[in-house]
């Protein structure tokens, strides 16, 4: 809507409200409440009209609100202008607003009438409202309504008028109006029943309000001449008229609430949610259970929604609208056309969906990369272990065996030479000693590369071996029998080995304790000492390497080392 049009509308609204106030002022004290009612109701329609025009530029609702507002206010201004022509037109025009209100109700919430029949009903509403008014006014002498000589004249009055003729026309008009009201209300209820999603929820307040209007019409339409009629027409009717603007306010609040709920829904959705859960969150936030989130099939043969149903994005079906999700040309939102009134909300929804999908995609990507890195790290460590095993075996089968054979040969040579040539004997003896030393060193080297006892007997023997070699008194509290995956056994072994080395080097401990136990799916390795404590997890490459090693099999290394209270190292390893 152009600014100029808006300015005209605002000026018109102010003028109308001001005109009413001026023309009716000073009011007869009895009419003051009525005057205020008219002011409030008429102004609220005009304000709702302007606001609707601004909020829903694509919809005619703003126009309908504005028309209803003017049709409501203008007759009363004219009546009060003390001009016979204006007085006559004003009286003629009273009541036409009901046709505008019916029009508004039928066009809710898109502003468009849904069928030719409905157009006909609306035209009939306007025509009967104007027609019966025009017919009745011919017979209406203002004096019938208690108007004295100060009243302007009815310029359309034929003769002195006829009270009975006027009443008869009013009664017939009332009947016709009632029938039309019935049709309109029925149509509104049908709209509500056939509506889905956003539109259906938008219809709910309308249905309630239409019901109230219907009752008001029956009571005040002159059909039933109840004793309460005048009370209702002066007390209830103005309140019922307020229903229109209230409807607008409810819709506005709902859109805002939905906008806010979107943010919360996306936050609550958390990480790595499936598209189905994203759709649910969006549908819940919008209050449109028919919302669909559809993705292009990989073979480009169409779209499928999150429930696996095919979606035709070019012809989404009656009452459905398609919006593409930015940043992802393969995803679309399909929603109720009622929601199209709120382009901002749709944009917000699409943006939220886009962000969530992008987030999920990135997360999946990062997760996949992480999995790859983890797997490759595990493979590297396993390859390293295998290489160490191979080296150890090569040492054993090769150099160590040769040295043993050499030692044996030297022993035999020495025994033979000892008697004949003692000097040669002692020479050979020292060579033999060297060979033994070499064997011992080689054994230590091989054990350091890979502990054969771990491969041969598993953790029980290997941990016992570590405890036996430890320079610090080491108690083994528990080690589970049985074998575990090689990588887990090796990691547990290196944890204990490195921990005991650290205890000996740094802890100034009197003793250490090793406990290995199983929890469902886990193998927990604990090494604690009663030393000085105060070790820092980041200190020392050995500990860092150990943490890496533990992480390589998907485990966690924890260290607890309060100064003066010993150190406790715990490796929590996965163990299927």
Partner 1 sequence: MTPRLKDQTELRVVIAEDTVLLREGLRRVLTDVGLDVAGTAGDAEQLLSLVAAARPDVVLTDIRMPPTQTTEGLQAALEIRRRWPGTAVTVLSQHVETEHLFELLAGDPRGIGYVLKERVADIAQFTDAIRRVAAGESVIDPQVVSRLVARPRRDSPLETLTERELAVLALMAEGRSNHAIANQLYMSPKTVETHVGNLFAKLGLLPVAEDHRRVLAVLTYLRQ
422 binds partner 1 (CB under 8 A): no
Name the segment binding partner 1 (CB under 8 A); options: 86-94, 125-133, 273-281, 401-409: 401-409
The binder of partner 1 chosen from 396, 506, 532, 572 (CB under 8 A): 396
The binder of partner 1 chosen from 282, 452, 514, 573 (CB under 8 A): 452
Name the segment binding partner 1 (CB under 8 A); options: 24-32, 317-325, 340-348, 468-476: 468-476
**DSSP-assigned letter for residue 1:** -
Nearer to partner 1, 273 or 463 (CB): 463
* Residue 103 near residue 124 (C-beta atoms within 8 A): no
203: alpha, beta or left? (left if phi > 0; alpha if psi -120 to 50)? alpha
**DSSP-assigned letter for residue 337:** G
The binder of partner 1 chosen from 456, 482, 541, 563 (CB under 8 A): 456
* Residue 160 near residue 139 (C-beta atoms within 8 A): no
The binder of partner 1 chosen from 199, 470, 528, 561 (CB under 8 A): 470
Nearer to partner 1, 473 or 508 (CB): 473
**DSSP-assigned letter for residue 109:** T
502 binds partner 1 (CB under 8 A): no
The binder of partner 1 chosen from 222, 275, 411, 480 (CB under 8 A): 411
User: What is the maximal distance between C-alpha atoms in the chain?
Assistant: 169
* Residue 528 near residue 513 (C-beta atoms within 8 A): yes
Pairing state between β 320-324 and 331-336: antiparallel
Sheet holding 310-311, edge to edge: 310-311, 303-305, 292-296, 331-336, 320-324
Nearest Cα residue to 93 out of 28, 163, 42, 147: 42
The binder of partner 1 chosen from 469, 483, 544, 558 (CB under 8 A): 469
The binder of partner 1 chosen from 344, 363, 405, 430 (CB under 8 A): 405
**437/432 Cα distance (integer angstroms):** 9
SS (HEC) of 114-150: CCHHHHHHHHHHHHHHHHHHHHHHHCCCHHHHCCCCC
The binder of partner 1 chosen from 6, 246, 399, 439 (CB under 8 A): 439
Between the CA atoms of 210, 214, 215 and 221, what dihedral angle is there, to the nearest 10 degrees?
A: 150
455 binds partner 1 (CB under 8 A): yes
387 binds partner 1 (CB under 8 A): no
> Which phi and psi angles does 559 have, rounded to 5°?
-130, 135
The binder of partner 1 chosen from 133, 170, 290, 407 (CB under 8 A): 407
Instruction: Tell me how many residues contact partner 1 (CB under 8 A).
Output: 42
**Coil, strand or helix: which one is 310?**
strand
133 binds partner 1 (CB under 8 A): no
Nearer to partner 1, 37 or 453 (CB): 453
11 binds partner 1 (CB under 8 A): no
Nearer to partner 1, 351 or 406 (CB): 406
Nearer to partner 1, 262 or 395 (CB): 395
Q: Which residues bind partner 1 (CB under 8 A)?
A: 393, 396-397, 400-405, 407-412, 415, 432, 435-436, 439-440, 443, 446, 452-453, 455-457, 460-462, 464-465, 468-474, 510-511
């Amino acid at each position: 809507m152009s600014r100029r049009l808006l300015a005209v509308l605002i000026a018109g609204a102010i003028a109308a409200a001001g005109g009413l106030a001026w023309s009716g002022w000073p009011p007869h004290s009895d009419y003051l409440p009525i005057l205020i009612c008219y002011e409030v109701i008429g102004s609220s329609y005009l304000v709702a009209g302007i606001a609707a025009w601004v909020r829903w530029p694509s919809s005619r609702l703003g126009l309908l609100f504005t028309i209803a507002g003017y049709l409501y206010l203008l007759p009363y201004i004219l009546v009060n202008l003390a001009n016979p022509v204006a007085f006559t037109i004003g009286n003629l025009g009273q009541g036409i607003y009901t046709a505008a209100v019916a029009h508004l109700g039928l066009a809710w919430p898109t502003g468009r009438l849904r069928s030719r029949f409905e157009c006909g009903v609306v035209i009939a509403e306007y025509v009967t409202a104007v027609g019966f008014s025009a017919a009745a006014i011919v017979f209406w002498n203002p004096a019938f309504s208690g108007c004295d000589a100060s009243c302007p004249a009815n310029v359309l009055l034929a003769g002195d008028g006829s009270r009975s003729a006027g009443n008869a026309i009013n009664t017939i008009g009332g009947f016709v109006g009632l029938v039309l009201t019935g049709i309109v209300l029925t149509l509104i209820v049908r709209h509500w029943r056939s509506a889905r999603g956003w539109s259906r929820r938008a219809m709910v307040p309308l249905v309630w309000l239409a019901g109230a209007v219907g009752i008001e019409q029956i009571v005040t339409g002159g059909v039933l001449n109840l004793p309460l009629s005048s009370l209702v027409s002066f007390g209830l009717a103005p309140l019922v008229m307020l229903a229109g603007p209230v409807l607008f306010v409810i819709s506005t609040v709902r859109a805002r609430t939905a906008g806010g709920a979107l943010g919360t829904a996306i936050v609550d959705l958390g990480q790595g949610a499936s598209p189905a859960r994203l759709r649910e969150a969006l549908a819940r936030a919008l209050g449109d259970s028919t919302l669909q989130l559809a993705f292009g099939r990989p073979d480009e043969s169409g779209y499928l929604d999150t429930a696996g149903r095919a979606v035709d994005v070019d012809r989404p079906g009656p009452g459905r609208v398609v919006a593409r999700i930015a940043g992802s040309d393969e995803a679309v939102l399909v929603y109720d056309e009622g929601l199209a009134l709120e382009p901002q909300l749709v944009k917000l929804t699409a943006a939220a969906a886009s962000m969530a999908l992008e987030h999920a995609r990135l997360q999946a990507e990062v997760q996949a990369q992480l999995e790859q890195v983890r797997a490759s790290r595990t493979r590297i460590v396993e390859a390293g272990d295998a290489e160490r095993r191979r080296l150890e075996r090569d040492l054993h089968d090769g150099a160590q065996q040769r040295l043993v054979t050499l030692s044996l040969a030297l022993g035999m040579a020495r025994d033979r030479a000892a008697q004949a040539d003692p000097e040669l004997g002692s020479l050979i003896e020292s060579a033999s000693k060297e060979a033994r030393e070499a064997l011992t060193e080689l054994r230590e080297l091989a054990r350091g590369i890979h502990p054969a006892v771990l491969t041969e007997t598993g953790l029980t023997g290997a941990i016992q071996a570590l405890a036996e070699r430890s320079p610090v008194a080491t108690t083994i509290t528990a080690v589970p029998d049985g074998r575990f995956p090689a990588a887990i056994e090796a990691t547990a072994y290196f944890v204990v080995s490195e921990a005991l080395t650290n205890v000996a080097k740094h802890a100034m401990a009197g003793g250490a304790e090793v406990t290995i136990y199983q929890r469902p799916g886990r193998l927990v390795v604990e090494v604690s000492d009663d030393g000085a404590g105060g070790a820092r997890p980041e200190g020392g490459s050995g500990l860092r390497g150990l943490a890496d090693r533990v992480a390589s099999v998907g485990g966690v290394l924890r260290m607890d080392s309060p100064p003066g209270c010993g150190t406790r190292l715990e490796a929590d390893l996965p163990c299927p």
